[in-house]
Amino acid sequence: MNAFLLGILSSLATSALLLALSLLRAARPLWRLTAACSWFTGTGLHRVYRRQAAAEQAMGQDLARAQWVKVLAGRGNILTREAFTPLWSDTISPASVQILLPDPDTPLDSWLDRRSHNIARFDPGFTPDLLRSQVRANIDYLTQAAHAHTGMRLRRYNLPHACRVIATDKAAYLTFYSDNAHGRNSPCLYARSPGLLYTIALQQFDTTWANSTEAPITQHP
């Protein structure tokens, strides 16, 4: 009898463990567990996205509700995608938008060239000048988008850059670059305010902003 009961209990325990593991593999239960640990540790981490691209829908919703936005990017392609549509709207855009992009006119062997070299290792279509050209194209895009947004400021930087920061008054998205993937395919952390990660994101942005140069955006008269 005891052996029979132990067998049943063992089966139930195994089933419960498998169920728990299957639930944790789903995104939302894992996010809830992450948020609970974040509350306990004070980090402010609420979600972990395996790829930056998977975060863009939620990012667009946060941007639509933001009072201000800070963006530190390594290329700026995300600024032209659907997630950032709220920033260029006449009706719901934030009062202040600060954007940092690499300086595409830096001398050779700058940080931008080193990043371009790393990308070329896993993307055979990436030529040495392509990254500079893409940054210039995104600056042109922002110049046009700024026609509908008088609160936008753009600055250029030439500093080592290992993390994309997209922050609002409520939350921040941190995407850590790797040497074998584009930013859109890199892991992305979602941190809410207040919290350690949110504070670090703002510090990273503010430090880079203080060591950058103004890139005036022409507005319509």
Residue closest to 132 by CA, chosen among 156, 153, 152, 155: 156
| Spatial contact of 111 and 103, defined as CB atoms under 8 Å apart | no
Dump pLDDT digits (tens) for 119-145: 878 788 877 788 899 999 999 999 888
The C-alpha atoms of residue 124 and residue 147 are separated, in whole angstroms, by 36
In this structure, the number of other CB atoms found within 10 A of the CB of residue 145 comes to 19
Asked if residue 14 is part of any domain, the answer here is no
Asked if residue 174 is part of any domain, the answer here is yes
Asked if residue 9 is part of any domain, the answer here is no
In this structure, the number of other CB atoms found within 10 A of the CB of residue 167 comes to 24
* pLDDT over threshold 80, residue 205: yes
Q: Name the pLDDT band for 206 (thresholds 50, 70, 90).
A: very high
Asked if residue 192 is part of any domain, the answer here is yes
Q: Which domain holds residue 94?
A: 28-214
CATH number at residue 43: 3.30.870.10
* pLDDT over threshold 60, residue 81: yes
Asked if residue 219 is part of any domain, the answer here is no
Residue position matching structure tokens 């892991």: 187
Asked if residue 109 is part of any domain, the answer here is yes
Mean pLDDT of the chain: 78
Q: Strand (E) positions, the chain?
A: 45-49, 68-72, 96-102, 152-157, 163-168, 171-176, 188-192, 213-214
Dump pLDDT digits (tens) for 39-66: 445 577 888 888 888 899 999 999 999 9
Q: What is the pTM of this model?
A: 0.79
Chain centroid, CA 6 distance in Å: 50
Does the bond joining 194 to the residue before it have cis omega, within 30 degrees of 0? yes
The C-alpha atoms of residue 68 and residue 87 are separated, in whole angstroms, by 10
Our count of domains for the chain comes to 1
Asked if residue 23 is part of any domain, the answer here is no
- Greater confidence (43 vs 191) lies with 191
The C-alpha atoms of residue 128 and residue 113 are separated, in whole angstroms, by 7
Asked if residue 169 is part of any domain, the answer here is yes
- Greater confidence (221 vs 163) lies with 163
